[in-house]
A and B are shown apart, each in its own frame.
Chain A
Amino acid sequence: MIAPRTIRSLKRGLNRNVLAKVGIVVVVVVLLVAVFAPLVAPHKPSTQNLENARSPPLGFTKATTEEVPVQDNGSVVFEDGQIVTENRTVYENATMDHPLGTDGNGRDILSRLIYGARVSLLVGFLGTGLAMLVGVAVGLVAGFYRGKVDDVLMRSADVMLAFPSIVLAIALIGVLGDALEQSIPDPFVQSGLAEAFRSAVGLPTGMPESTVVPGTIIIVVALVNWVWFARVARGEALSLREQSYVKAARALGASDGTILLRHVLPNAITPILVLGTIQIAAIILLESALSFLGFSSANVSWGFDIALGRQYQSTAWWIAAMPGLAIVITVVGLNLVGDWLRDALDPGIEGEGGV
Chain B
Amino acid sequence: MIQMHPAKGEKAAYFNEREHQICVMARLIEDGKTYWVAGGGTPMASILLAKKLYAPNAVYVTEDGVLAPEPALPLDPIMTMVSSRASYRALQWGTMNSVGFHAQVGLMDYGILNTLQVDPYGNINSTLLGSYEAGEYRRFGGPGGADSIASLCWRTILMTDHQKRKFVPRVDFISSPGFLDGSPGARERAGLPRDTGPYLVLTPWALFDYEDRYLRLIGISPFVTVEQVLAEMSFRPKVAPQLLTLETPTEEELTILRTEIDPRGQVTIIGDIGRWIQRREDGTYAPAEEGRGGGNPNLPRSW
A binds B: no
Which positions in A face B, CB cutoff 8 Å?
none
Which positions in B face A, CB cutoff 8 Å?
none
